[in-house]
Structure 1
Amino acid sequence: MNIPFLGNRRKKHGEAVPAVDAEGVAELLSECELLRSLAAREGIRLDDTGASLEALDQLVPRWRDDEEILPWLGNDAGLYLGTVIVRTVPGAAWDFWPGGQPVVRLASGREFDVVTAGHEWAANGVPELSQLYGEVAEV
């Protein structure tokens, strides 16, 4: 699996390149530092549940006027949505499209582009993160 954001690790002669396991990737993708910081300032605890997605949907979108923060927050929102799905929907797992775009693959094989969904939520507020989660969790 090609994971560009982890860097280009080149093997020195006779040295093994450490493998990145699925749990390690999931941990990296779940950090969402900007979103967690924003939520904490607003008194919201992101506990990787659908309820926390509902709480995020209720935030007043003060970030929409900040063109520098908007793309980063959109990324974090999508990765957090993916984290909730992977941790709560049986059979869901992180996967990557060619080029390194993280997506969530459901047990059915359906892929869900959480990053694009996060950007749409950050920019427009729709679709709501909790609504997207509800649709995926029902499948």
Structure 2
Amino acid sequence: MRIPFLDKRRRAEESERISAAYPDGAGAAALFSECELLRDQAERVGVVLDDTPESLNALDQLLPRWRDDPEAMPWLGTDAGLYLGTVLVATIGGAHWHRRDDGQPVVVLDSGRELDVVEEGVGWATNGVPELSSVYAEVSAP
């Protein structure tokens, strides 16, 4: 059962825990890149998540079997967003993680643009759009 105000509180508490444990941001990036549920789903069908743009395309090709499990879907969407952010930070110069005042992790690009990758991931998991590879292509275009 999803209760919106509890979800926000949980995310804020988790973000505070991450920030306290990893004040330099590098540890938070490592924690965000774990994406256990997404990596497990991908591994089951032979998709390797190697933190590259190509792996985002491979994720876009998966059959969305997780949509049959309404409890897992938001978690998978969060993982997908964090994985998208991991690929962005790993491959786009100047991109870095930032925690907004509300606790939400976002990726900030060199231009100053802030991308709510979790929101993008939840949209992908729920509706299939935007495709993760499309978000990457749009953000990485010069």
Provide TM-score, normalisation by structure 2. 0.86
What's the counterpart of residue 5 of structure 1?
A: 14
Q: Note the C-alpha offset of 1:33.
A: 0.3
> 2:23, 2:42 → 1: CA distance?
29
Classify the secondary structure of the residue corresponding to 2:124: helix
What's the counterpart of residue 14 of structure 1?
A: none
Match for residue 65 of structure 2 among 62, 65, 68: 62
Supply the RMSD in Å over aligned alpha carbons. Answer: 1.8
Q: Note the C-alpha offset of 1:23.
A: 1.1
> 2:53, 2:22 → 1: CA distance?
31
Residues 1:108 and 1:59: Cα distance change in structure 2 (over 3 Å) = same
Residues 1:18 and 1:115: Cα distance change in structure 2 (over 3 Å) = closer
* AA aligned opposite 1:108: S
> 1:119, 1:18 → 2: CA distance?
26
Q: Aligned residues, how many?
A: 130
Residues 1:103 and 1:8: Cα distance change in structure 2 (over 3 Å) = closer
> Contact 1:4/1:99 (CA < 8 Å) preserved in 2?
no
Correspondences of 1:114-133 after superposition (within 5 Å): 114-133=117-136
Classify the secondary structure of the residue corresponding to 1:72: helix
Where does the alignment leave 5 or more consecutive residues of structure 2 unmatched? 1-11
Q: Which has the higher helix share?
A: 2
Match for residue 88 of structure 1 among 83, 87, 91: 91
Q: Note the C-alpha offset of 1:7.
A: 4.8
> Contact 2:16/2:103 (CA < 8 Å) preserved in 1?
no
> 1:25, 1:121 → 2: CA distance?
23
Match for residue 25 of structure 1 among 25, 28, 32: 28
Moved segments of 4+, more than 4 Å: 6-9
> 1:138, 1:56 → 2: CA distance?
20
* AA aligned opposite 1:130: S
> Contact 2:15/2:103 (CA < 8 Å) preserved in 1?
no
What's the counterpart of residue 12 of structure 1?
A: none
Provide TM-score, normalisation by structure 1. 0.88
Where does the alignment leave 5 or more consecutive residues of structure 1 unmatched? 10-16
Residues 1:4 and 1:79: Cα distance change in structure 2 (over 3 Å) = same
